[in-house]
Chain A
C-alpha cells in the first residue's frame, strides 16, 4: 500500500485577521482558523487516489494548537491519520523556514510515494512552499496540477498553464501542488463527524524534528514581513457638471493626464 502525505494549512477566517504590531506577522493563535480552501482540492485529489488504488493518506499541518479543529475536520473528509507540526520556535517562519520544517517532517514520515499541497494559501498567497520543500528534499516539483492520474503504477499530472494543458508523467516520490479549484470536492463523512471528539492528531515538535534555531522561526527567515494589512476598498469619485461639450473636453483632459489616452 502506497502513502500520500497532504500538507494543509489553517488560515484565518477572512474578516478575523489580527496582525502583531511588532513583528507584522499574523496572530494565528488568536484567530479562528479554517482549512485553506485550495487545500480542499489537494485533499480531494489524494482521496481519489485512495479510493482508486488504496493509498494511505496522511494529512499534516504546521501551525499553533488552534489548528487542531482544522485537522479534525480534515479527518472527517476521510484521511487515515493527522499530524500537527507545532512548536513556539516555529512561530514567525517565512516560506523558506516553513519549507525547512515541512521537509524535515516529511523525511520523518518517509517512505512516501507522493506529497500533495494546495497551490497557495489565501493568507500568504506566495505559492512558494511546495517547490521550496521539493528543492530541499531533492524531489521533483510539479505545480498547478488540476488532475492526477495513477495508471499502471505510474503518476500522470494534468497541468494547466497560461498556454493550455500538458500531461506530465513523473517518478515518485514527488511534490505536487494542486490548482485551487477542481471539478468536485467531497463533503465530510457523517460517521467520522460523529466520532470527531475522540480524534486527536499526533504532534511533532522541534524535539522530534531537531532543527537548528537559526533555520526556523523569525530568526530563520531571510525575508521579513514589512507590513500586513487586510485589503479594503474605498469608493472614490468625482462628479463633473456642465454642458456636454465642456464635459467631453474635461473628460479627455483627465483621461490623458491619467495615461488612458495618448
Chain B
C-alpha cells in the first residue's frame, strides 16, 4: 500500500505461496461457500500439502519452527481471500499451542507431527453457555477414576467442532478451588462419551464450522492431562496471549480486501460526470481507511516481533493488537460498503461478506471489552504510585 514493511526473502516466498493458493483454491469459491454456509475441505488440504500447518510447530516434530510474525503473515493473507478459511486454519493453531507450550515430550511426539502435516486439525474448547467472558464460570468437570479421567459438561461455540481430531478442553478437576481447580486435557475425536452438537448458523465466517461439544461420561486416559492438575487456566490464558495476534492479523487481511475492492469501485463508478472518488466525502473516507489499516498493521507487526524477541509478559501488547486491529476492520468494512453504495449491499459482491466476517473478530478470542480490561490492568501494573 502506501508503506511497504521490510520483509525477508522467506516471508515473500511464503506470501507468494499463500496468494497462489488463495487465487486457485479459495477466490473462485468463497462467495459460494458463504452463501451456502458450506465447509469445503479442499483449501485445507491444499494448505496442508503446502506445509502451512507446520508454520509454528518446532522443526524436530516436522514443522518449520517459525514464530508469531510468520503465523500472522500467513493468517493475514489467507484472510484476504476468505476469513472463513483463515478461521479454520488459525483456530487449529489455537488448539496446537497448549501442546507446543505445555505438552510433555510424549504428547508432543504423539500429536505434533500429524498436526504439522495438516493431517489432524485442532480445536480449543473453553467457552460454555454460562461462561463466555467470565471464563472462570466454567462447569465442565473432569473426575479422576484410576488411570482415567471422566469428563462431563458442554462446551459452546467451538470453532472446528466435528472437523478437528484433537480438542483441548479446559475442565474442573477440583471445583472447590475455583480458577485454580481447572485442568487442560487433550480429547480425541472418537473418545467414548464425546459427541459434537449441531453446526451453528452464523452471521459471517460461514465457511468455518462452529459447534457445541458434549461430554457425557467421556472417558480419557490420564496421559491426556496437559502439564499438571490446576494449571488449566494458566494453559488457556497463555495460549490466548499467543493467539490474539492471529485475530488481529485476520482483521488486517479482511480490511485490505475491503479497501481494495471499494477503492477500485470508487475510481470507476461515474456519477455527476466523474468518478465518485473525486468527491472529497469519498476520497477522504479512503484516506481515513488507509491510515487506520496502516496503523493497525504496524501495531500487529510490532507486537508479533516483540513476542518473537522473547518477551515474557505480553498479555497487554497482544490485547492491544487484537482489539485495535479488529475494531479498525469493522470501521473499514462498514465504510467500504457505504463507499460502494448499492453494490456494497448486494450479496453478489464481496464487500458485504467482509463486513459480516469482520464482526466476529470483535467478539471471539476475548471480546474487545475484555481486551480493554486486560490492557487497563497491564497499564496499571506499569505505573507504580
Contacts and interface: CB of A to CB of B under 8 A. Distances in A.
Are A and B physically bound partners? yes
Interface of A: 184, 186-191, 193-194
A190 B20 contact: no
B331 interface: no
A188 B42 contact: no
Nearest to A47: B49
A45 to B, nearest CB: 15
Contacts, number: 33
A188 B10 contact: no
Closest 7 CB pairs of A and B: A190-B51, A186-B49, A187-B50, A191-B51, A187-B46, A189-B51, A193-B13
Contact of A187 (B10, B13, B25): B25
A194 B65 CA distance: 13
B135 interface: no
Given A188-B20, A190-B52, 4 more contacts: A189-B50, A190-B64, A191-B64, A193-B17
A81 B13 CA distance: 22
Given A193-B17, A194-B10, A194-B13, A187 B64 contact: no
Contacts of A184: 42, 45
A197 B120 CA distance: 31
Describe B's contact surface by its main secondary structure: helix
A193 B54 CA distance: 14
A214 to B, nearest CB: 44
B24 interface: yes
A190 B46 contact: no
Nearest to A190: B51
Interface string B77-113: 0000000000000000000000000000000000000
Contacts of A190: 13-14, 17, 50-52, 64
Interface string B24-42: 1100000000000000001
Contacts of A194: 10, 13
Nearest to A184: B42
Describe A's contact surface by its main secondary structure: loop
Contacts of B64: 190-191
A38 to B, nearest CB: 16
A14 to B, nearest CB: 17
Nearest to B24: A187
B231 interface: no
Contacts of A187: 17, 20-21, 24-25, 46, 49-50
Interface string B1-19: 0000000001001100100
A197 B64 CA distance: 18
Contact of A189 (B24, B45, B49): B49
A190 B46 CA distance: 11
A34 to B, nearest CB: 13
Nearest to A192: B51
B314 to A, nearest CB: 26
Contacts of B52: 190
A191 B50 CA distance: 8
Q: Which of A190, A191, A193 has the most CB of B within 10 A?
A: A190
A187 B64 CA distance: 17
A118 B45 CA distance: 24
A193 B21 CA distance: 14
B246 to A, nearest CB: 18
Contacts of A191: 51, 54, 64
B205 to A, nearest CB: 23
Interface in B230-274: none
A77 to B, nearest CB: 9
Nearest to B13: A193
A186 B46 contact: yes
Nearest to A78: B49
Contacts of B10: 194
B46 A188 contact: no
A189 B55 CA distance: 12
A193 B12 CA distance: 11
Contacts of B45: 184
Interface in B343-369: none
A194 B9 CA distance: 9
A193 B14 CA distance: 8
B114 to A, nearest CB: 15
A186 B13 CA distance: 17
Contacts of A186: 46, 49-50
A190 B17 CA distance: 7
A188 B21 CA distance: 9
Contacts of B17: 187-188, 190, 193
Contacts of B42: 184
Nearest to A77: B49
Interface in B53-77: 54, 64
Nearest to B52: A190
A193 B24 CA distance: 18
A187 B17 CA distance: 8
A244 to B, nearest CB: 35
Nearest to B63: A191
Nearest to B10: A194
Q: Which of B13, B14, B42, B50 has the most CB of A within 10 A?
A: B50
A191 B66 CA distance: 12
Contacts of B46: 186-187
A186 B49 CA distance: 7
Contacts of A193: 13, 17
